[in-house]
Structure 1
Amino acid sequence: MPIPVRATRLTYRSLVAATAAALITVGLAPSGAQGAPPRESRPVYSYENAIRESVWVDTGLDEDGDGRTDRVAVDIVRPRETARAGRKIPVIMDASPYYSCCGRGNESQRKTYDENGDPVQFPLYYDNYFVPRGYAFVAVDLAGTNRSDGCVDVGGRSDIQSARAVVDWLNGRAHGWTSRSGGERTRADWTTGNTGMIGKSYDGTIANGVAATGVRGLKTIVPIGAISSWYDYYFAKGAPLYDSGPDWLSGYVESPEARERCQAVQQRLVDGAPRSGDLTALWTERDYVPDADKVRASVFAVHGMQDLNVRAKHFGQWWDALADNGVERKVWLSQTGHVDPFDFRRGTWVTTLHRWFDHYLLGHDNGVDREPMADVEHAPDQWSTDRVWPPRRTATTALRPGPGRAPGVGTLSLTPARPGATETFTDDPRQDETDWAAAVDTTTAAKAGFVTRPLGRDLRLSGSGRVTVTATPSTSSAHLTAVLVDLGPATIRDYAAAGEGITTLPARTCWGASTAGDSSCFKETKAHTAEVGHTVFSRGWADLGNHASAAEGRPLTPGKPYTITLDLHASDHVVPAGHRLALIVAGTERNLIEPPASTPRLTLDLARTTADLPLVGGAAAFARAIDRSAASAGTPGAGGRSSDGVAGPRSIRPIPGGSTR
């Protein structure tokens, strides 16, 4: 439970006395009565008196080419009482490139050190909350950042080995030292080796990558808004998603010294990531999905379904691969953008995370592994659960676009279009999904829209979909976008605003113990909502030149038809009765993909175009939802733009920008 700020002013003497009494009561056990199996770790250890130390761990690599094995800095905080008693404890670890350059969390906290170089502030609340409960917290500087040697290689071998080496050291398989160069050997003889990795964005990505190595001792990971394939961060089947590559991100997070010594690594990033969108060996190395069969750890994934930075495709393909390999897993899906659950569902999140770590790191049989697999936010602060996710009754269902009453205003149903039916649009890089959705019922040159009848009952889509199109371009290059839209009024989290669905408040609450240099008190937040006339809830992009190969694009022959499949991002959305479901196919989406070299006119062959969507209840549920007699009782949803335009995307830079940390 949170602690009000004014309730945290305990003296050190009273804290130590309370801790001593608690330790006598439980006999140094972190929770539970003597003789009874523990179910929850309790805050019985002193945070103020905890051991704070730094260790440098050999990675086994020499990425900066200085002739010495690169060492990564590992800052540790752990209970002093367990060390004195010789009691081994588990570790919660956040490996990050952001501890010095950019900060962590909603308040951009950085590591701080005293005059001796010992750690004082550990960003976020993991240390404040969990150290008093009998855990160690370990904050790792990725190679090339803050106080670590080596070079940043953006999800590659050096990044992943930075964190894996620390897991190995915690389990007695790697060398640790008391200083960055030289020093004495030090062993992690205070830990069980059981490690849980956690982190948002880049940090969660590293957790995914380390788990995909199969390293022993890593018991669980909690990736939040995390990447599963770096190619899919920068490209979508050949279509470039940003105006920069991994070399920009590497340069952004590297320490000043690393920039001087890592020019060769920077050049490899440039050479291996051409803006053509070709799938090179650099990207293959940074794709963790094929190695899901190596994952030994349980996975508690969290993702914003409106995350336009680390898009929900990353979660969807990782989740499906974990499921295929029988990995224990849990998920929270929110309506936010790139936001930590600490900032959109704080109390429930901390309680759930506590129970998760207690189970997988301390071995407590608290039942968290038997609870519903998924929590899904269907409206601001309104959550539901599913025993499994996607729900068992979910079935991929082919919906077919057809011509309608006017050009560009078509239908969406279970019935294929007749052979020869077409729709035509011209790429307009000045428009985006908001513009298209606002004009879905109007003939416009920049999109082809396909809409169901008003629904007579709710229709739920849950999981990852895809849209296969056959398109004939008028030029030698073309980019495509497909979006799913709920046409109807709703109150949503304003994911397109600066807070990506949250508003930060001035009041603070505290989550754990504090010291003068490391407060456990954080600003509260609330949902930032907007009233909209439509909601875009899934997206996908592709370069039509990648029709023959996802790995390599080719020039198109004008006037020749090509077939390509666009992967839609994972989502869980209910289209309510009275609303309509729309599929929109268009060209360049402003601010999210870059335009092609030409401005093509594209003709869709509707008979050879299909949207394969994950419908709960399958085709039968869709048929019931669009039944004429049932639909007649509903009120058609509005297809217009909201007054403040919040349903549309905003220009988003790669991970470091805005609230992406």
Structure 2
Amino acid sequence: MPTRAQGLRSRYRSLVAAAVAALMAVLLSPAGAQGAGPREARPPESRPVYSYPDAVRESVWVDTGLDSDGDGRSDRVAADIIRPREPARQGRRIPVIMDASPYYSCCGRGNESQLKTYDSDGRPVGFPLYYDNYFVPRGYAFVAVDLAGTNRSDGCVDVGGRAEVQSAKAVIDWLNGRARAYTTRTGDGRATAGWSNGRTGMIGKSWDGTIANGVAATGVRGLRTIVPISAISSWYDYYFAQGAPLYDGGPDMLAGYVESPEAGERCAAVRQRLADGAPRSGDWTPLWSERDYVKDARKVRASVFAVHGMQDLNVRTKHLGQWWDALAAQGVERKIWLSQTGHVDPFDYRRAEWVDALHRWFDHYLLGYDNGIDREPMADVERHPDQWSTDRVWPPRATRPTTVRPAPGTAPGVGTLGLRPARPGATETFTDDPALSESDWAADLDRSTGAKAGFRTAPLTADLRLAGSAKVTVTATPTTSTAHLSAVLVDIGPDTIRDYGASGEGITTLADRGCWGGSTPGDSSCYRNTAARTTPVDRTVISRGWADLGTHASPGRGRPLTPGRPVTLTVDLAATDHVVPAGHRLALIVAGTDRDLIDPPDSTPTLTLDLSRTTAKLPLVGGAGAFVRATAGSATATAADPVPGVRGVTPPHRTRHVPGGGRS
């Protein structure tokens, strides 16, 4: 039997061993990386325990292994880094949040168009957006990468191509010890990332989010998650809609808009290749294949938190829909937010909830916290301004592609929409009028105008929800050799929505500010607050799609039409999530040029639709049964009267768009 002294020593050794074990568990756990004490081994979230003013601010230039500007040496891309100083002192490695952008010197980031700033020695001082202010004190590094050909990077802008994707991928490789970096743009001093654990999450809006999609589609190891906001998934679909041109100009003009002055002098050949590879005919070329990330969704290893405005007329939700569907087919872990806004960051329409969700998302995928965000509802959808609903999965499991059919009504151009096909030989005829838009067509749904064919249900007796991507198949006979086609879904009835067609695209920027993290004199965490900008309407465009009728035989190449010969074409509509409430009507419009959204054809065609061979396949929650219930008794229902003096939203007048331009 041990003596009393031996027992005390034994208990003391046991207590020391237990304390050491507890301390090691804290230090080696994600929570320990945040400086938690031994009584709190795993807090529910990372906490702002590190000094933002004292953070390390540095720049490195990463070797991409490419020579996109043809100067005989490998391009180096600039990566400006801010990271907490304390973890490295304690021998701990931390994860990275990365925003790779072409906008850091030309156009700015966010609602306040922030640029990077540097001191007189070229050291980074100001990092745009709140990511650094909020996350660096919580134990993350933030890395802001200048894409090839922009700001302080070598190479040439190639608008979503290999050089740009490799710009960001090379930085992830460097963070994981697979690439070289240097302390200067031209020198030999090597830079290492011994402070990084290699886990990287990419985030960004518009072009920035597009590059996140592209890098994820390479399957690069170390990229744990991406958060693409209003992002492109295939660059062809930014410039064309099934052959119909969406914007003047092409990727060569976009490259010239963002490239650095030095790149402008040396990259003329690259801009010419962009122009040559993107003909205004709308034909699919190898240039577009290189910039199609959807086809490589099978390579994606990262989780995806996708965010998009359902009324984004810059980067339309077709990009979201096809990317989301491809990721779902591969079983990628994913989450989605859909707002009523246009091209707007969630920081500017749902700020507190967004920062909280993003914080928890990064904590889970980069720090390993089991905080439950991966088990929460997959989707948040804005139903009315600042009113949100959730879904366990998206689209909801009860969603079924349901075929609805147009039929003639009592007057030309004013038809009905139901489940039964039109009688053989039934037709509707319209003549393209490039001076009219989807708003004009919707305003005239109850009368014949000669410029559109409209079809609508009677007032619904129950809510009807669409969630996902729709398709409209038409058989049309043209009178000319060229013709463009628009297909639009409309909710006819009074509502108050975000005014996505106004300046701000659904938000108003206020004078007061709110702060989100640490600040220094050169980098404030305080941003102007916002509020929803709303407007009353008597109709809401739910979704739209466009096509060149000449692509009917081959989606990748247009052909002249034969006047008088019918052709069949399926138009892809943008993804949406919308509830048409009881008492409203669901409408389908088929017309020609949608003013300010697509360019007109070379001729002025008249199109005759064969209604017996024209259908709309809609993603209805509840399928055909839901449609039957919502239209019960429609044979005797009367059309709802429009609200006097209230119109729909007019889309913004089209200018030369930049993905992320303006409020980027």
Q: Structure 1 length as normaliser, TM-score?
A: 0.94
- Give me the whole-angstrom Cα distance separating, in 2, the residues matched to 1:393 and 1:32: 47
Q: 1:481 aligns with which of 465, 472, 486?
A: 486
Contact 1:534 1:640 in 2 (8 A): no
**What is the match of residue 261 of structure 1?**
266
Q: What's the CA shift string for 1:384-433, capped at 9, x where partnerless?
A: 00000000100000000000000000000000001100000000000000
Aligned CA distance change for structure 1 residues 321 and 642 (closer, same or farther; 3 Å): farther
**Distance in 2, Cα, partners of 1:572 & 1:637:** 23
CA deviation map 1:83-136 (0-9, x unaligned): 111110000000000000000000000000001100000000000000000000
* 1:481-540, Cα deviation, whole Å (9 max, x unpaired): 000000000000000001000000000000001000000000000000000010001000
Q: Given that residues 206 and 660 in structure 2 are in contact (C-alpha distance below 8 angstroms), is that contact kept between their aligned partners in structure 1? A: no
- Check the 8 A contact 1:153/1:269 in 2, yes or no: yes
The partner residue of 2:295 within 279, 282, 290 is 290
Show the 5 A alignment for 1:239-318.
239-318=244-323
1:53 corresponds, among 55, 58, 61, to 58
1:107 alignment partner in structure 2 = 112
Map of 1:176-215 to 2, 5 A cutoff? Answer: 176-215=181-220
Distance 1:438 1:449 in 2: 11
- Residue among 54, 67, 88 paired with 1:83: 88
Tell me which amino acid in the other structure corresponds to 2:112: E
Which residue number in structure 2 is paired with residue 463 of structure 1?
468
Q: 1:646 aligns with which of 636, 646, 649?
A: 649
Match of 1:430 among 423, 427, 435: 435
Structural mapping, 1:344-383, within 5 Å: 344-383=349-388
In structure 2, the partner of 1:14 is: none
Change in Cα spacing, 1:476 to 1:31, as seen in structure 2 (3 Å) is farther
- Residues 631 and 198 from structure 1, CA distance in 2 versus in 1: closer, same or farther, beyond 3 angstroms? farther
Give the 3 Å change call, closer, same or farther, for CA 275–176 of structure 1 in structure 2: same
Q: Distance in 1 between matches of 2:309 and 2:212?
A: 18
| 1:561–1:30 distance in 2 versus 1, CA, 3 Å | farther
Residue number in structure 2 paired with 1:173: 178
Alpha-carbon shift at residue 465 of structure 1 (Å): 0.6
1:31–1:39 CA contact under 8 A, matched in 2: no
Give 1:223's aligned residue. Answer: 228
Contact kept, 8 Å, 2:117 with 2:125, in 1: the verdict is yes
Return the alpha-carbon distance in structure 2 between the equivalents of residues 227 and 131 of structure 1. Answer: 28
Q: Which amino acid aligns with 2:168?
A: A
Distance, in Å, in 2 between the alignment partners of 1:526 and 1:272 is: 42
Q: Could you tell me which amino acid in structure 1 is paired with residue 97 of structure 2?
A: I
- Say which of 561, 578, 586 aligns to 1:581: 586
Q: Which residue of 2 aligns with 1:615?
A: 620
Shift of 1:183: 3.4
Contact kept in structure 1, 2:33 and 2:94, CA below 8 Å: no
Q: Distance in 2 between matches of 1:247 and 1:448?
A: 37
Q: Distance in 2 between matches of 1:395 and 1:77?
A: 47
In structure 2, the CA distance between the partners of 1:499 and 1:330, relative to structure 1 (3 Å rule), is same
**Aligned ranges for residues 415-454 of structure 1 at < 5 Å?**
415-454=420-459
SS at match of 1:131: helix
State whether residues 308 and 338 of structure 1, in contact with CA within 8 Å, keep that contact through their aligned partners in structure 2.
Answer: yes
Q: Name the SS of the counterpart of 2:377 in structure 1.
A: coil
Q: Which amino acid aligns with 1:256?
A: P
- Shift of the 230–640 alpha-carbon distance from structure 1 to 2, 3 Å rule, reads farther
Tell me the CA shift for residue 630 of structure 1: 11
Report deviation, 1:34.
4.0
Compared CA separation, residues 408 and 56, structure 1 to 2 (3 A) = same
Tell me which amino acid in the other structure corresponds to 1:80. Answer: R
Alpha carbons of 1:645 and 1:390: their partners in 2 closer, same or farther (altered >3 Å)? closer
- Of all paired residues, the percent bearing the same amino acid is 74
Whole-angstrom distance in 2 between the partners of 1:264 and 1:32: 58
Residues 27 and 246 (structure 1), Cα distance of their counterparts in 2 relative to 1, 3 Å cut:
closer
Alpha-carbon shift at residue 38 of structure 1 (Å): 3.4
Query: Which residue does 2:11 correspond to in 1?
Result: none
Which residue in 1 is equivalent to 2:658?
655
Unaligned runs of 5+ in 2: 1-26
8 Å CA contact retained: 1:309, 1:652: no
**What displacement does 1:577 show?**
0.4
Taking the aligned partners of 2:243 and 2:583, their CA distance within structure 1 comes to: 38
TM-score, scaled relative to structure 2? 0.94
Aligned residues: CA RMSD: 1.6
- Is the contact between residue 534 and residue 641 of structure 1 (CA under 8 Å) also seen in structure 2? no
Match of 1:507 in 2: 512
Amino acid in structure 2 at the alignment position of 1:467: V
Q: Identify the match of residue 533 of structure 2 among 528, 536, 544.
A: 528
Q: Which of 1 and 2 has greater Rg?
A: 2
Query: Conserved in 2, the CA contact under 8 Å of 1:479 and 1:543?
Result: yes
Tell me which amino acid in the other structure corresponds to 1:65.
G
Residues 407 and 375 (structure 1), Cα distance of their counterparts in 2 relative to 1, 3 Å cut: same
Q: Which moves more between the two structures, 329-338 or 38-47? A: 38-47
Counterpart residue identity of residue 654, structure 2: S
Q: Is the 8 A contact 2:277 2:286 kept in 1?
A: yes
* Pair 1:631–1:574, CA change in 2 (3 A): farther
Determine the C-alpha separation between the residues in 1 that align with 2:213 and 2:659: 19
Corresponding position: 1:495 with 2:495: no
Deviations 1:572-595 (A, max 9, x none): 000000000000000001011000
Instruction: Give the count of matched residue pairs.
Output: 636
Contact map agreement 1:30 1:41 (CA 8 A) in 2: no
Q: Which moved more, 1:648-657 or 1:483-492?
A: 648-657
Q: Secondary structure at the match of 1:283?
A: helix
2:218 counterpart SS class = coil
Per-residue deviation, residues 287-331 of structure 1 (Å, max 9, x unmatched): 000100000000000000000000000000000000000000000
Note closer, same or farther for the CA distance 1:457–1:656 as it changes in structure 2 (3 Å cut).
Answer: closer
Change (3 A) 1:527 1:630: farther
- Structure 1 229/32 Cα, relative in aligned 2: closer, same or farther at 3 Å? farther
CA offsets, 1:242-273, max 9 Å, x none?
01100111000000100100011001000000
The Cα shift of 1:39 comes to: 2.3
Question: Partner amino acid for 2:649?
Answer: V
Task: Report what 1:7 is aligned to.
Answer: none
Corresponding residue of 2:167: 162
Secondary structure of the residue aligned to 1:654 is: coil
Aligned position for 2:19: none
2:539/2:648 contact within 8 Å kept: no
* CA deviation profile, 1:209-240 (whole Å, cap 9, x unmatched): 00000000000000000000000000000000
Looking at structure 2, the residues matched to 404 and 27 of structure 1 have their Cα atoms a distance apart, in angstroms, of: 69
Residues 147 and 58 (structure 1), Cα distance of their counterparts in 2 relative to 1, 3 Å cut = same
1:626 and 1:31, CA in 2 relative to 1: closer, same or farther beyond 3 A? farther
Q: Secondary structure at the match of 1:628?
A: coil
Q: Does 1:342 align with 2:323?
A: no
CA contact (8 A) 2:481 2:563 kept: yes
